[in-house]
């Protein structure tokens, strides 16, 4: 038996591309999330210190709002890809695998459609914000810069739900997301006998 035979079937080019793209997206999302949380904490602490001893940082509220929006909509895609979104886990865990897959198809399909509608609506909102030309009061930046992540986050979340559907078509076992296999862990909660 060769080394390649022990690793299972060879991965085709599409699986390798998907794995590399998933790694790149994960790295970008985690980097943005860590940066946002760290920057938000530093900004708020600095503003409290400045307000106590001097005067408040004039742009702190605007920058904090932008960081929260960026954190929320980057986290949306990350949460879907890692199966950290709201779902009926207790209900799905007690189903036979084929029934669970059917429910995952339905939930992922409806969620992808909702995310696509929200992406379209937020794109319209972004377009109208760009047309109005309003600027933020403190930083004097175009207000639409703060909203550009909305359609991006919704679109990425829709793509992750669609990837979940594809993953469940390709794989025999149920998958809650492209990266998270459905596994019921009875003993993780101290399972009752």
CA distance linking residue 62 with residue 10, whole number of Å: 50
Whose tokens are 């319209």? That residue is: 124
State percent of the chain over pLDDT 70. Answer: 81
In a domain, 133, yes or no: yes
CB 168 within 8 A of CB 177: no
Tokens of 175: 């998958």
Where does the pLDDT of residue 5 fall: very low under 50, low under 70, confident under 90, or very high at 90 and above? very low
* Range(s) of the domain holding residue 72: 13-185
pLDDT at residue 116, rounded to an integer: 96
In a domain, 110, yes or no: yes
In a domain, 7, yes or no: no
Write b or e for each residue in 1-30: b if 16 or more Cβ atoms lie within 10 A of its Cβ, otherwise e.
Answer: eeeeeeeeeeeeeeeeebeeeeeebeeebe
In a domain, 4, yes or no: no
DSSP 10: P
What integer is the mean pLDDT of 175-187? 68
pLDDT at residue 53, rounded to an integer: 85
In a domain, 86, yes or no: yes
pLDDT at residue 122, rounded to an integer: 94
Q: Mean pLDDT across the chain, nearest whole number? A: 80
**From residue 85, how far is each of 60, 66, 120, 143 by CA, in Å?**
30, 22, 21, 29
In a domain, 2, yes or no: no
Is residue 193 pLDDT above 70, yes or no?
A: no
In a domain, 59, yes or no: yes
The model's pTM? 0.76
State percent of the chain over pLDDT 90. Answer: 17
pLDDT at residue 90, rounded to an integer: 67
In a domain, 193, yes or no: no
Where does the pLDDT of residue 187 fall: very low under 50, low under 70, confident under 90, or very high at 90 and above? very low
What integer is the mean pLDDT of 86-96? 70
112-169 pLDDT, tens digit per residue, is: 999 999 999 999 999 998 898 888 888 888 888 888 889 999 998 998 898 888 888 8
pLDDT at residue 88, rounded to an integer: 65
pLDDT at residue 165, rounded to an integer: 87
CB 157 within 8 A of CB 115: yes
Number of domains making up the chain: 1
pLDDT at residue 10, rounded to an integer: 55
């Amino acid at each position: 038996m060769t080394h390649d035979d022990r690793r299972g079937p060879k991965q085709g080019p599409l699986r390798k591309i998907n794995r590399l793209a998933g790694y790149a997206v994960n790295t970008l999302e985690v980097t943005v999330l860590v940066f946002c949380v760290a920057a938000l904490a530093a900004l708020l602490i600095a503003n409290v210190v400045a307000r106590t001893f001097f005067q408040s940082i004039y742009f702190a509220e605007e920058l904090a709002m932008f960081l929260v929006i960026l954190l929320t909509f980057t986290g949306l895609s990350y949460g879907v890809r890692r199966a950290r979104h709201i779902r009926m886990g207790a209900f799905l865990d007690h189903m036979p695998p084929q029934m669970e897959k059917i429910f995952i198809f339905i939930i992922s399909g409806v969620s992808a459609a909702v995310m696509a509608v929200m992406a379209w609506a937020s794109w319209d909102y972004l377009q109208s914000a760009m047309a109005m030309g309003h600027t933020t009061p403190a930083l004097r930046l175009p207000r639409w810069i703060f909203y550009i992540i909305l359609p991006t986050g919704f679109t990425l979340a829709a793509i992750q739900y669609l990837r979940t559907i594809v993953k469940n078509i390709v794989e025999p076992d149920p998958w809650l997301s492209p990266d998270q296999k459905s596994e019921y862990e009875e003993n993780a909660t101290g399972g009752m006998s």
